[in-house]
Structure 1
Amino acid sequence: MNAILKYALKCASVPALVVSLAMPAQAGVNLPVHKEVLDNGLTVLLHPNKQAPTVSCRLFYVTGSVHEVPGKSGLAHILEHELFKGTKKVGVTDSIADAAFMAREDSLQALIRPAKLAGDTATVKKLTAEHDSLLNEQRKLFVKDELWGAYQSAGGTGLNAFTTDLMTAYIVTLPKDKIELFMWLESDRMQNAVLREFYSERDVVREERRMRYDDKPTGRFFETMNSLIYEAFPYRVPTIGWPSDIMNLTREMADEHYRRYYKPRNAILVLAGDLDTASTMEMVKKYFGNIPAGEAFPPITVRDPEQVGEKRFTQVRPDAPNLYSLVFKTAEVGDPSLYALDIAEGVLNGRSGRLYKRLVEEEKLAVSVKAGNSPNKYVSEFSVMVSMKLDADVAKVEKIVWEELERLKNEPVSERDFQKVKNHAYAGLIRSFTDMENVATMLAWYEMYGDYHIFLNWADALEKVTPAQVQEVAKATFVRDRSVVGILKKNR
């Protein structure tokens, strides 16, 4: 279940220990969850657990890069940043004067855009200076980081936010007697966010993209890889946005998106920890129940055409590591085939896995290798990533990878290996249930996928997988004509 792990690495508050998440019946783990959908569409999940006097709070907005139209990539990501700027009540001393400043700044930006297109640098420079002068005056009204500070003053920990292709998440863990603060701040942010300092924040995002993607060899490599895996489906769109799109986003675009979609109909609220279900639900209804539902996103109907042959590309850079990446598209989360692929991942992966033994220990071609079964909504991926030594023969690395994939297709996994993989998954699960931050995040994530029960029932489904099913799914999945290969090489 490395899709979750992939996003966890972006956010320190999401534990990275969870690889396969499930609840084996024999483990005796009880995870009571109260689910309720308010009349306005807000989905609420509550998990009471008194192991510590804290509550982990999650608010997921089911809006990400899959919902962005051409020309507006990066919109959800910049809104993640902007929603920390405050509201009409938070982050400002005079909301009326604040609104007047923003109206004047928007008018200047509306003049700057056509001047840029016309190449009129003198006008752009003059208007930009006027805009920045107004912004400096407006900043005198700001109470910097007031929302963030309110959580910290209340003893909040793990405060963070992140955006993915499917959603934007706001997370914090609070003392149990402070969860009403979360309700107040987040219901206010859901209704009254003000997108202050938008254009300076846009420059921050552009610089973030430059550091993480444009100037980073692995960043551009994986972005290119993604654009080959998905021909039409919007997973090909980078969550941070394309460079040209970022610099053409406007505050009006972001504000319209927020007003339409950052609303209860597209939100999942999860609380896990020391709480009383009945009183907490009353509090949720008090703060969120009267917020208008907002608009639903149009259904995503586009799908990739069937792949008709292997896709392959190579990038060579002087500052690059040596990487070999192999990816296959698989069924969406919840499909039975993914449980068998979890077993395949476990057999291939880790220091005791077949790929590590062959490529690192025996042939000494690689410094690390990992296989990943990554369930996702709409379409998933199974990948193999090899960090090769500088002098490694790429053709030999690829040959060994395919030999091990073919072995999964042609030989049943031994009972010992089968049980080892399951035991590892169960052990990770039991550890993960001691962490309410992890529980809250996983409940929200799988509810976003369609049903949090997928999370709870994963190990039961894994237990039912047979060696014959692993072979059958491997034969259907590991097909050369449906593979995407990326090779990143260092200049020598």
Structure 2
Amino acid sequence: MGVTPLARPKIRLLWAIVLTLFLWLGVSEPAWAQVFGKLDRQIEGSSTLAVAEDGSTIQPYLDRVANDVSEFTLDNGMKFIVLERHQAPVVSMMLYAKVGAVNEVDGYTGVAHYLEHLAFKGTTNIGTTDYAAEAPLLEEMDAVFGQLMAAEKVGDDEQLAALHAQFDTLQAQASGYVEQNKFGQIIEQSGGRGLNATTSADATRYFYSLPSNKLELWMSLESARFLDPVFREFYKEKEVILEERRMRVDNSPIGQIVEKFLEVAFDEHPYRRPVIGYKEDLRTATRADIAEFFDAYYGPSNLVAAVVGDVDPENVKALAKAYFGRSKARSLPPDVTIEEPVQTQEKFFELTLPSQPWYLEGFHRPGINHPDHVVYSMIESILVGGRTSRMYQDLVEQSQVALNIGSANGFPGDLYDNILLLYGLTAPGHTVDEMALRMEALLTQLKEESVTPEELERVKTQARAGMLRSLDSNSGMASLLTEYEAKTDDWRNVFEELKAIEAVTAEDVQRVAQATFVPSNRTVGKLLSAEP
């Protein structure tokens, strides 16, 4: 989801908003993944660190771990990061594609998320009983779908009915060749756990864990699905994704205000568009659109893999060459060059929907590679970091204007300049305007008064604990190594994070707060209750 224990968005609200913000931040769980989700930690290979949360004690440990990490790059440009951990005979793998919703263009939103779903549909050999017979049906379905879209534009109802019947027949025939969830079945039968994938604004991640003697299986499966993908059941998956959007956005007041918030907060940058995509774009997307996007962004030089666990780095390298080395090198895709103009005046909007009242306000902040990115995370912890935080104590415990509060730091992504979002659910008998006043007072206090040494140490302790939790599991380490490599161009930066945390001063917090929490940099969204 995010990139560091500090910069990672922290979702702390009721389940409705949790689901919505998880979707925006890139937590997507297709149906095939649910059977694995509850079991992923059973073979995780956690090292159970016996390290105190004092910074002077943690850093030597981090240095030792960093020394155990090795890396290599294949001739086609794909990079691998390997960490030996022999606590348990398991290995966790992360394949990180440096592509997300931010790389889409207007009119084709949601294609990155489509690809995440379709990557599990198999290859010419996996997921089908007879690809030679299946392939012509897939192509014919594509042609009929194009005719359907054309007939819809001219409003030819008679032709539409005939085409729908033809399409349904073709889809039924193609389904007869599909081996459902074959990819997941192979992994499950081999002892795999935690099979999942996420699409976010900045990246798409594919990950799971296996017994260490099944490492070659991962190499075989992962290389095949990105070397020889078949986007079968595309039109069935289209309905799944459209239903996901209806549930989490169109029929959700929280989903609607989150989508509207980013459209208002960003004028130009692609962060303004939803990760899941707009309804019309999803509905009219074609299999050719997905294939074109795949060809542009899934070249080996745009992928980073991490292998963490009970492995021999030389064996990993040999297997990687044998399997992933089959992919031909491609030129890197174009970077996102659109820059968000500096906001010069406060932005504001209201939505009136059948919902409890919510209040949201967000402030533009720089991306992960800015020197102050850790300071923003410290500020978030001071304001919203648990029950001892300023906002929880003031809004929930003392004034009781809010039932709950939360934040998302690095929203909706953090590779580029983004948003520090603060939000709250209004308590009965109180208004969103009361919450706005209380938040304003707390932000003013942070700008005008220096944080105490005790409070600063508290949030640093929270940061150390969060870092330890992330580093304590094979999958957590694989996630961090790929994230830092992709976003900061060097996985080693994950081990420098503690030094940056320890270096933050009260003056840094006040300086960044004064520069950030100004009206001209603020976007406010209010979700008001519709009259019954």
Structure 2-normalised TM-score?
A: 0.87
- Residues in 2 aligned to 1:2 and 1:211: alpha-carbon distance in whole angstroms: 28
Structure 1 residues 128 and 385, CA, compared in 2 at 3 Å: closer, same or farther?
A: same
Report deviation, 1:24: 4.3
The question of 1:389 aligning with 2:420 is answered no
- Residues in 2 aligned to 1:26 and 1:392: alpha-carbon distance in whole angstroms: 46
Aligned to 1:175: 211
Give yes or no for contact 1:340–1:470 (8 Å, CA) kept in 2: yes
Give yes or no for contact 1:346–1:353 (8 Å, CA) kept in 2: yes
- Show the 5 A alignment for 1:30-69: 30-31=64-65, 32-69=68-105
Aligned to 1:355: 391
Give yes or no for contact 2:7–2:377 (8 Å, CA) kept in 1: no
Aligned to 2:369: 334
- Report the 3-state secondary structure (helix = DSSP H, G, I; strand = E; otherwise coil) of the residue aligned with 2:129: coil
Report deviation, 1:489: 2.0
1:471 is aligned, of 510, 521, 527, to: 510
- Residues in 1 aligned to 2:463 and 2:352: alpha-carbon distance in whole angstroms: 37
The question of 1:440 aligning with 2:478 is answered yes
Give yes or no for contact 1:334–1:454 (8 Å, CA) kept in 2: no
Aligned to 2:33: none
Aligned length: 485
Structure 1 residues 4 and 386, CA, compared in 2 at 3 Å: closer, same or farther?
A: closer
Report deviation, 1:338: 1.9
- Residues in 2 aligned to 1:371 and 1:115: alpha-carbon distance in whole angstroms: 46
1:312 is aligned, of 332, 348, 351, to: 348
Give yes or no for contact 1:160–1:172 (8 Å, CA) kept in 2: yes
1:391 counterpart letter in structure 2: G
Give yes or no for contact 2:381–2:389 (8 Å, CA) kept in 1: yes
The question of 1:254 aligning with 2:293 is answered no
1:200 is aligned, of 224, 231, 236, to: 236
**Residue ranges of structure 1 left out of the alignment (5+ in a row):** 16-21
- Residues in 1 aligned to 2:134 and 2:55: alpha-carbon distance in whole angstroms: 55
Aligned to 2:112: 76
- Residues in 2 aligned to 1:94 and 1:259: alpha-carbon distance in whole angstroms: 25
The question of 1:293 aligning with 2:329 is answered yes
1:338 counterpart letter in structure 2: H
Report deviation, 1:201: 1.5
Aligned to 1:18: none
Structure 1 residues 159 and 23, CA, compared in 2 at 3 Å: closer, same or farther?
A: farther
Report deviation, 1:35: 2.1
The question of 1:487 aligning with 2:526 is answered yes
Structure 1 residues 412 and 10, CA, compared in 2 at 3 Å: closer, same or farther?
A: farther
- Residues in 1 aligned to 2:361 and 2:493: alpha-carbon distance in whole angstroms: 27
Aligned to 1:462: 501
Give yes or no for contact 1:24–1:457 (8 Å, CA) kept in 2: no
1:224 is aligned, of 257, 260, 268, to: 260
- Report the 3-state secondary structure (helix = DSSP H, G, I; strand = E; otherwise coil) of the residue aligned with 1:425: helix
2:456 counterpart letter in structure 1: F
- Residues in 2 aligned to 1:23 and 1:484: alpha-carbon distance in whole angstroms: 38
1:376 is aligned, of 414, 418, 422, to: 414
Give yes or no for contact 1:261–1:294 (8 Å, CA) kept in 2: no
Report deviation, 1:98: 1.3
1:409 is aligned, of 432, 441, 447, to: 447
- Residues in 1 aligned to 2:528 and 2:188: alpha-carbon distance in whole angstroms: 45
Q: Per-residue CA shift, 1:412-465, capped at 9, x if unaligned?
A: 111111111111111222233221111111222222212323322111101011
Report deviation, 1:401: 0.9
The question of 1:234 aligning with 2:234 is answered no
2:57 is aligned, of 13, 26, 42, to: 26
- Residues in 2 aligned to 1:233 and 1:46: alpha-carbon distance in whole angstroms: 35
Q: Per-residue CA shift, 1:224-279, capped at 9, x if unaligned?
A: 00111211000111111101111110111112222332221211111111111111
Report deviation, 1:195: 1.1
Aligned to 1:159: 195
- Show the 5 A alignment for 1:273-288: 273-288=309-324
Mean Cα deviation higher: 451-460 or 77-86: 451-460
- Residues in 1 aligned to 2:347 and 2:54: alpha-carbon distance in whole angstroms: 38
- Residues in 2 aligned to 1:431 and 1:462: alpha-carbon distance in whole angstroms: 16
Give yes or no for contact 2:296–2:333 (8 Å, CA) kept in 1: no
- Show the 5 A alignment for 1:92-111: 92-111=128-147
Mean Cα deviation higher: 333-342 or 470-479: 333-342
The question of 1:325 aligning with 2:360 is answered yes
The question of 1:191 aligning with 2:227 is answered yes
- Report the 3-state secondary structure (helix = DSSP H, G, I; strand = E; otherwise coil) of the residue aligned with 1:73: coil
- Report the 3-state secondary structure (helix = DSSP H, G, I; strand = E; otherwise coil) of the residue aligned with 2:464: helix
Identity of aligned residues (%): 32
- Residues in 2 aligned to 1:37 and 1:161: alpha-carbon distance in whole angstroms: 23
RMSD: 1.9
Report deviation, 1:385: 1.3
Structure 1-normalised TM-score?
A: 0.94
Structure 1 residues 371 and 241, CA, compared in 2 at 3 Å: closer, same or farther?
A: closer
Aligned to 2:14: none
- Report the 3-state secondary structure (helix = DSSP H, G, I; strand = E; otherwise coil) of the residue aligned with 1:437: helix
- Residues in 1 aligned to 2:272 and 2:113: alpha-carbon distance in whole angstroms: 15
The question of 1:422 aligning with 2:455 is answered no
Report deviation, 1:8: 7.3
Aligned to 2:45: none
The question of 1:86 aligning with 2:117 is answered no
**Residue ranges of structure 2 left out of the alignment (5+ in a row):** 1-5, 11-21, 30-36, 42-52
Q: Per-residue CA shift, 1:347-405, capped at 9, x if unaligned?
A: 21221111111111111111112344337101132221112113213222212211111
Structure 1 residues 371 and 74, CA, compared in 2 at 3 Å: closer, same or farther?
A: closer
Aligned to 2:186: 150
Mean Cα deviation higher: 375-384 or 94-103: 375-384
- Residues in 1 aligned to 2:228 and 2:484: alpha-carbon distance in whole angstroms: 28
- Report the 3-state secondary structure (helix = DSSP H, G, I; strand = E; otherwise coil) of the residue aligned with 1:289: helix
1:398 counterpart letter in structure 2: A
Report deviation, 1:25: 4.9
Mean Cα deviation higher: 367-376 or 167-176: 367-376
Give yes or no for contact 1:25–1:460 (8 Å, CA) kept in 2: no
Give yes or no for contact 1:98–1:138 (8 Å, CA) kept in 2: yes
- Residues in 1 aligned to 2:26 and 2:172: alpha-carbon distance in whole angstroms: 37
